Amino acid sequence: MKKTLRILCFGDLVGDPGKAMFDKWSSYLKDKHEADTIIVNGENMSKNGRGIHPNDVEFLRERNVSAITSGNHVWAHKKIGQCLQDEDSILLRPANYPSSCPGRGYRIFTIEGIAVAVVSLQGRVFMREDLDCPFKTIDSLLMFLKYRTKIILIDFHAEASSEKKMLGLHLDGQVSCVYGTHTHVQTGDERILPGGTGYITDIGCAGANNSAIGMTKESVMFRFLTQMPSTFKVEKNGEMAMNLLLVEIDVETGKTRHIERIEVIDPEISKTFEEE
């Protein structure tokens, strides 16, 4: 049996640029870092950068992604409800949404006979405060998951760095890794906490580098300057960046042995969209 598992966790893929970056680089990165599997946050994969379509789920399944985490935009497409409910769905919605919502907030899969659990959670600070408490939700869920595996990864889709950090400290020694998504900006605070849990506040995103978290600066700047509503548009020009996290986990203990943030810059991929 393997002594460690190496897992690549990709930040939010934003629109077609994020999807193209993943398509071009994910297989290479998996081979380069000798990763055993891939987890992706896919809630911004749609062409408009908001939500995920069933076709996007199939796109990631075909590329051997083991789990797709999400967040506050998971419900943007009406058809996604059925996709979430499919028995073998790799797409997760945040676990702290009401139990009556379609789908599940966790997935358990195996790598060479080793069980791995992935949990999708959403924060409440500066977001939807009417959701169930993410701290209490994961405490309850762990009572079940710990009977299945020691290897547990949490994607905490949250706005406030303080909320993310507190969840990491709250779960230190209980799970393998807590990593943040949602802000689309990769932070430089990756570490192994005292109890052996890997942690980073946000793993970033995949999309245009010189943009407003993947959207054109013009469409976002209008709202800042006028305080009026505006429709954000996915930036498809210029160099693209893709952020991800490598986590190496001890199979016997479930603790993180190594954590490393990764960034790929691609100045050429935007040419794919020049004819659009």
Pair of tokens at residue 201? 């506040």
- Cα–Cα nearest to 123, from 92, 91, 163: 163
Question: What pLDDT score was predicted for residue 274?
Answer: 65
Cite the active site residues.
73
Which DSSP letter does residue 94 get? -
Q: In what order do the strands lie in the sheet with 177-181?
A: 106-111, 114-122, 152-157, 177-181, 198-200, 191-192
User: CA gyration radius for the chain?
Assistant: 18
Instruction: Provide the pairing of β-strand 67-69 with 191-192.
Output: unpaired
Q: What is the largest CA-CA distance in the chain?
A: 59
- On whether the CB atoms of residues 39 and 10 are closer than 8 A, the answer is yes
Question: What pLDDT score was predicted for residue 270?
Answer: 86
Q: Say which residue the tokens 């952020």 belong to.
A: 243
Length of the chain: 276
- On whether the CB atoms of residues 131 and 115 are closer than 8 A, the answer is no
- On whether the CB atoms of residues 7 and 36 are closer than 8 A, the answer is yes
Question: How remote is the C-alpha of 84 from its chain's centroid?
Answer: 16
Q: How far is 158 from 146, CA to CA, in rounded Å? A: 24
**What pLDDT, in 10s, does the model give residues 214-228?**
999 999 998 899 999
**What pLDDT, in 10s, does the model give residues 158-177?**
999 999 999 999 999 999 99
**What are the beta bridge partners of residue 12?**
205
Q: Which amino acid is at 83?
A: C
Q: How far is 158 from 233, CA to CA, in rounded Å? A: 22
Q: Cα 201–245–181 angle (5° rounding)?
A: 40
Q: Which amino acid is at 3?
A: K
Q: Is the pLDDT of residue 116 over 60?
A: yes
CATH code for the part of the protein at 4-267 = 3.60.21.10
**What pLDDT, in 10s, does the model give residues 71-115?**
999 999 888 988 898 888 999 999 999 999 999 999 999 999 999
pTM (two decimals): 0.95
Q: Cα 255–62–204 angle (5° rounding)?
A: 50
**What pLDDT, in 10s, does the model give residues 170-218?**
999 999 999 999 999 999 999 999 999 999 999 999 999 999 889 999 9
Backbone CA torsion sign across 265, 240, 67, 204: positive
Q: Where are the alpha helices (DSSP H) in 72-130?
A: 80-85
